[in-house]
Copies of this chain bind each other. A is one copy, B any other.
Amino acid sequence: MMELLWIATGVVSTLIFVGLFWVYWHFEGDRSLREYVSEDEEPEGKYRILQKVQTPTQRVALVEHEDKLLVYSNGYVMFGTTEDEDMYGEAMIHIPVSIAEKRERVLLIGAGGGITTREVLRYPDVKEITVIDIDPVMIEFGKTLEPLVKFNQGSLNHPKVRTVVEDGRVFLEKNEDKWDVIILDLPEPTMESLGLSRLYSWEFYHLLKERLNPGGVVGIACSVLSNTPEYYWTIQATLKAAGFSVLPYHFDVIVEHEEDWGYCVAATRPISPADVNILVPNRYLNRDRLKDMFHIRYGYWKYWEEDEIQTDRNRVLAYIQNEDI
């Protein structure tokens, strides 16, 4: 009978051990990794985490995947040395920059990776580019991280380029300089990153108008149109409420990634697709693509509501983003 007791001891202790191990693995095992590379956006197949950094504003992970570098922010891909990034950068820059009457002085807010700066540098009439990023680590990566410098063609070290580590709103409040083009290429504000909300508000858009030269334009990244059309229309309603004329456009990678990237251009004069005339080399903005970029699908329009605008006190966009997650 003693033998049975000893066997039972073995059985019970193993069950307890297996159970505890399962609980640990399930709830704790990969939490630390997941804070840097979320399960949703884990690269397919093999990948290697080169570096994890907790910066003053975010958790950044550098990930190597299929010879590409992916830069993660708080678990999601912010950008990478990929073909997608070339598409994204071309769409972000060439529509607003080609619409602007002049392009001597360009301000890029949220551009630490240097990829959009690379595109702006293609215009020979650009004299001065100011790159603002709130995160010193991002600017440092953009200037020195070898695969990234290769990809952005050393744009952040170019003599025409000045980098500033500062919050974009604070920078514009302090500096009364005027700009021909202002690009806002920022992450979506959420309830966890409320500071960003102040870079999308009616008050901020009013400030932008004061900082534009005559004939100047603002280009704004508007998240994934196919996921959050309400977000897209809220930005445009806010721009209109601040007195801007707005031209919405998009870049469709639905087949490749089930995403349709939303952007818009805002100007103090009426603008239309006919004003777009891209005279610098590019890879993705051919005639047929451009035509498509200004057709906004009915499937998105039907979510248009002009009711709410984003103000410093009414953080509509953060609510929309948090509902989407």
Contact = CB atoms under 8 A, between A and B. Distances in A.
Interface of A: 2-3, 6-15, 18, 226-227, 229, 252-255, 258, 260, 288-289, 291-292, 295, 297-301, 303
Given A15-B14, A258-B258, A299 B253 contact: yes
28 contacts: A2-B3, A3-B6, A6-B6, A6-B7, A7-B7, A7-B9, A7-B13, A9-B10, A11-B11, A11-B14, A14-B15, A14-B18, A15-B18, A18-B18, A226-B254, A226-B255, A227-B255, A229-B255, A252-B297, A252-B298, A254-B254, A254-B260, A255-B299, A255-B303, A258-B258, A288-B301, A291-B298, A292-B299
Contacts of A252: 297-299
Given A7-B10, A14-B11, A254-B226, A298 B288 contact: yes
Task: Specify how many copies of this chain sit in the oligomer.
Answer: 2
A226 B254 CA distance: 6
Of A3, A8, A291, which is in contact with the most chain B CB atoms at under 10 Å from its CB? A3
A13 to B, nearest CB: 7
B303 A292 contact: no
